[in-house]
Structure 1
Amino acid sequence: MVAGDLCLKIWPSRIHTPILISVPHAGVRLPGGFHERVNHPDILKLQDTDWSVANLLSFVPELGIPLQAALYSRLVVDLNRPLPTEEPLYPGSDRISGVVPLHTFDKQTIYRDGCVPDEDEISERIRDYYLPYYRGIEDHLGRAHQYFGRSLLLDFHSIRPVVKAIREEPFAHFNFSNRKGLTCPDVWLEKLGALVESYGYSYSINDPFLGGNLTRRFGKPDQGKFSLQIEMNQDIYLDYANKVCGDKLVIMRVVLEGLLDVMALELK
């Protein structure tokens, strides 16, 4: 296990598959001076964090699968958003924040007046936090592809059961997305859905999430490079204090191992 300044890397002693797991919204660290700039103390609760997802997946090195997770909060930089010069993930939509967000999911303004990051600071955050995360993924997937002839990025996320700024109804237990067939075969998502459904969980495909920038960037099926996003409803593994619920953890590990087994078989 390597915990650098920017991200946590949990690497197995031997890599057995071309799979890499990414958890870009796991971070809770904030840089010096950030606290004094926020518009309201509630911002520091970091409610949009993908709580405990990295811990939930910490067993994957036992399966020969490496994991990379962010240590800094998505309020500092959102690693799953495109750069300002790139095409938006959802053209015409105002629900998606930028690479340096100014509002939370609940439309709370993050910064006090006069404290909003300017273009220079945004560029610095991209340089210091964003680009190193992408380089880490690119380097590993490149080696995996060279060795195995293919690669797969599994980008894991979680979300509160209801975020009314996105939709009024509760989210499915699992959302699987591949940018509507652009980053991996649709049948893979259908097989993942069938597996979680067999355990009593609901699922959706590309609804409401299509997959973020990491999925878009590293999914090139015509080159044997695949990616997909897995979004979990936090209700299936957390209690109300945002702590992993022990009685849910056992079944979640079984389900997650099953998902990884499905993907490993598809890559053979």
Structure 2
Amino acid sequence: MMEPMFDLIRGDGPLVISMPHCGTALSPGLAERLTPEALTLRDTDWHIPQLYAFAERLGATRLSARFSRCVVDLNRPPDGASLYPGQATTGLCPDTLFDGQPLYKDGQAPDAAEIAERVARYWRPYHDALAAELAQAKARHGFALLYDAHSIRSRVPRLFDGRLPDLNLGTARGTSAAPDLIAAVVATMERATAAEGLTCVADGRFVGGHITRFYGRPADDVHALQMELAQDQYMDEDAPPFAYRPDRAERLQRVLRPLLETLAGWRPDA
């Protein structure tokens, strides 16, 4: 029997939280093909379900991936088109780590047929489920809110200069959600980060991946935002076992909680 592709906790509110990069499972036979560095799963969005556990009290639905982005990246378009043309990034079935090191041993990278099989087996079920949850939320409330939850090491020179801000909100440059919703969330984020001594930016290095750009259709009453968090604010980001740090996470949650409350409490103009 095939292992489930994702975990689903369904709430009754309009907010759906997607966690496409928190999975750590590998497809059969993949571990033997990966380099030792890749096997640390360093590029995972570690502990994201734990960090956002409070969101269940807001009536949010949570969809979290079980399989690693090493298998297939759920936040990339199925045709593999680059989200950031001209910039360093990783692909649909990545062959490098964020820092440019090889993911696979020599000669072990997937070919086109294997990539297509992974899309069908792992990518498609997640997106079918996400689309269904958004449709249910919209049917129930007249609109749906999507929050795509991510994290990344605070310093990855190949992807961005210097240190990443602590909170990085992506709105597809203002197109993936209603302007008043974006303004409300940004205002809450700026106020909360200032109170906690953290930093933030909207539409900086990360403007939102495939999920935000594809599902965020304000004209159709689906509003999407992406959040990329600097991992050093809630965990040990440098080396395995990449431990969760409650002492740090509590401060970050004091920012994330009002941000999600603002999002979950928003209603479109009548």
- Structure-2-length-normalised TM-score: 0.91
Consecutive aligned runs of 4 or more in structure 1 exceeding 6 Å deviation: none
Q: Answer whether contact 2:168 2:204 (CA < 8 A) is retained.
A: yes
Query: Equivalent residue for 2:234?
Result: 237
1:18 is aligned with what amino acid? Answer: P
Q: Work out the CA distance in 1 between the residues paired with 2:230 and 2:108.
A: 33
- Structure-1-length-normalised TM-score: 0.91
User: Once the 2 structures are TM-superposed, how far is the Cα of residue 126 of structure 1 from its aligned partner?
Assistant: 0.1
User: Once the 2 structures are TM-superposed, how far is the Cα of residue 116 of structure 1 from its aligned partner?
Assistant: 1.5
Matches within 5 A, 1:12-161: 12=11, 15=12, 17-38=13-34, 40-84=35-79, 87-93=81-87, 95-161=88-154
Mean CA deviation greater in 60-69 or 139-148:
60-69
Q: Answer whether contact 1:10 1:58 (CA < 8 A) is retained.
A: no
SS at match of 2:49: helix
2:186 is aligned with what amino acid? Answer: E
Match status 1:209 vs 2:202: no
SS at match of 2:53: coil
Q: Work out the CA distance in 2 between the residues paired with 1:188 and 1:137.
A: 25
1:234 is aligned with what amino acid? Answer: Q
User: Once the 2 structures are TM-superposed, how far is the Cα of residue 111 of structure 1 from its aligned partner?
Assistant: 1.5
Q: Work out the CA distance in 1 between the residues paired with 2:231 and 2:110.
A: 30
Q: Answer whether contact 1:189 1:205 (CA < 8 A) is retained.
A: no
Q: Work out the CA distance in 2 between the residues paired with 1:207 and 1:220.
A: 21
How many correspondences in the alignment? Answer: 259
Match status 1:172 vs 2:165: yes
Query: Equivalent residue for 1:258?
Result: 258
Q: Answer whether contact 1:106 1:164 (CA < 8 A) is retained.
A: yes
Mean CA deviation greater in 231-240 or 118-127:
231-240
SS at match of 2:96: coil
SS at match of 1:262: helix
CA deviation profile, 1:122-166 (whole Å, cap 9, x unmatched): 011000110111111100100111111111110000111100101
2:253 is aligned with what amino acid? Answer: R
Match status 1:248 vs 2:244: no
Q: Work out the CA distance in 1 between the residues paired with 2:230 and 2:267.
A: 26
Q: What 5-or-longer segments of structure 2 have no aligned partner? A: none
1:44 is aligned with what amino acid? Answer: L
SS at match of 1:198: helix
RMSD of aligned Cα (Å): 1.6
Q: Work out the CA distance in 2 between the residues paired with 1:45 and 1:146.
A: 41
Q: What 5-or-longer segments of structure 1 have no aligned partner? A: none
User: Once the 2 structures are TM-superposed, how far is the Cα of residue 82 of structure 1 from its aligned partner?
Assistant: 1.1
1:141 is aligned with what amino acid? Answer: L
SS at match of 1:68: strand
Q: Answer whether contact 1:26 1:52 (CA < 8 A) is retained.
A: yes
SS at match of 1:59: helix
Q: Answer whether contact 2:189 2:259 (CA < 8 A) is retained.
A: no
Q: Work out the CA distance in 2 between the residues paired with 1:24 and 1:188.
A: 25
Q: Work out the CA distance in 2 between the residues paired with 1:21 and 1:106.
A: 28
Query: Equivalent residue for 2:193?
Result: 196
